[in-house]
Amino acid sequence: MRVGILTGGGDCPGLNAVIRAAVLAGTQRHGFEFVGFLDGWRGVLEGDVVPLDEARVRPLLAVGGTVLGSSRTNPMKDGVEAGVAAVRASLERLGVDALLAIGGEDTLGVATALHEAGVPVVGAPKTIDNDLSATDATFGFDTAVQTAVDACDKLASTGASHHRAMLVEVMGRHAGWIALHTGMAAGAHVTLLPEEPVDLDAVAETVRTVLARGDAPLIVLSEGAPVLGDHAVKDAPTDAFGHVQLGGAGEQLDRELQQRVPGLSTRLTVLGHLVRGGSPSAADRVLATRFGLSAITALAEGELGTMASLRGTDVVQVPLADATKVLRTVPEHRVAESAGLSW
């Protein structure tokens, strides 16, 4: 069998580890051949492929990003029928029998539509946001949180020297997992998530209390935190999947706090894409490798239309369609468990 691998959507530490495990296991256990499609669905539509063999993938375990490149190209943007026909024609032209799609909600949504139309496909979920409902965790999240915590630790030390409030904005459009875990691990005094309304007066009160006892306030917020009641949106066009680009939540919070706390010195750091880059953590390398192995076994055993998923400590295959059903946001009990305490 000739298998085409693609990585779509925002990149994520661990993508290369999935590719490596899939190619090594597919070649050695099942005699599969592999090609890589460049830049996600763009490569599929345009027939832009590179060979993927054992020698190419072996060094990839610790390499950040994706060697295949990624894009937010949506093959279904002119309708599912046209998209399926274009993908099918390209696969036939290239002699590719099946696809391994590694991606988040959007990429796996396209994979689901292809599966429903009879195109052989399996998936592996990725996103640093950790917001896919069909898996307990996605690789990339652990690395992103560690990077954000390292940054917060450094920012906290300079904040303490200058008696400043340090504001740290992290990724997370609709799900605040990165902010929640970063805030907890870095000992933030305030953590603001997209899931919860923001009480600016309460945040200001915490800042005053922390300063009054001689500490420097550390505030972690998601880019999607509704500081002024709604997401802060950049004046930019939506992408091919209809997503707006967020931006400015940290600046809004900064302005509001300065108004509420006279004389307050603040510094805002927007970590942005920093947390998406770099070498995957050990935990992410393991999860990504297990997802790659599981997806290839599924392909060999004819479990098409499924994706690798972590359930407890086991990796199992679940229907691709489940990945995109509901966004896994931070539940109330996770907010409540750390709320109301003076950290």
Which residues contact ligand F6P by CB under 6 A? 10, 127-129, 171-173, 223, 246, 276
Residue 199 near residue 148, CB atoms below 8 Å: no
Q: Burial level of 214, CB count in 10 A (0-12/13-18/19+)?
A: exposed
CB 251 within 8 A of CB 268: yes
| Max Cα-Cα span within the chain | 69
The answer for residues whose C-beta is within 8 angstroms of residue 303's C-beta and 6 or more apart is 122, 317
Dist. CA 111–CA 207, nearest whole Å:
47
Helix (H) or strand (E) holding 267: strand 266-270
Q: Which is nearer to ligand F6P, 152 or 210 (CB)?
A: 152
Question: For residues 45 and 270, which CB has a smaller minimum distance to ligand F6P in the complex?
Answer: 270
Q: How far is CA 116 from the centre of its chain?
A: 25
Residue type at 87 in one-letter notation: V
**Least distance (Å) from ligand F6P to the CB of residue 13?**
11
Q: Is 34 helix (H, G, I), strand (E, B) or coil?
A: strand
Q: Based on CB atoms, which residue is closest to ligand F6P, 75 or 224?
A: 224
Partner residues linked to 245 by β-bridges = none
The least CB distance from residue 40 to ligand F6P, in Å, is 12
Other CB atoms closer than 10 Å to residue 221's CB: what's the count? Answer: 30
Shortest distance in whole angstroms from residue 133 CB to ligand F6P: 15
Q: How far is the CB of 10 from ligand F6P (least distance, A)?
A: 3
Of 23 and 249, the one with the shorter C-beta distance to ligand F6P is 249
- Catalytic positions are 129
Residue number with the shortest CB distance to ligand F6P? 10
Residue 103 or 217: the one with the smaller Cβ distance to ligand F6P is 103
Q: Which of 293, 201, 242 lies closest to 74 in space, CA to CA?
A: 242
Q: Give the burial class of 273: count Cβ atoms within 10 A of its Cβ; 0-12 exposed, 13-18 middle, 19 or more buried.
A: exposed
C-beta of 140: minimal distance to ligand F6P in Å?
8
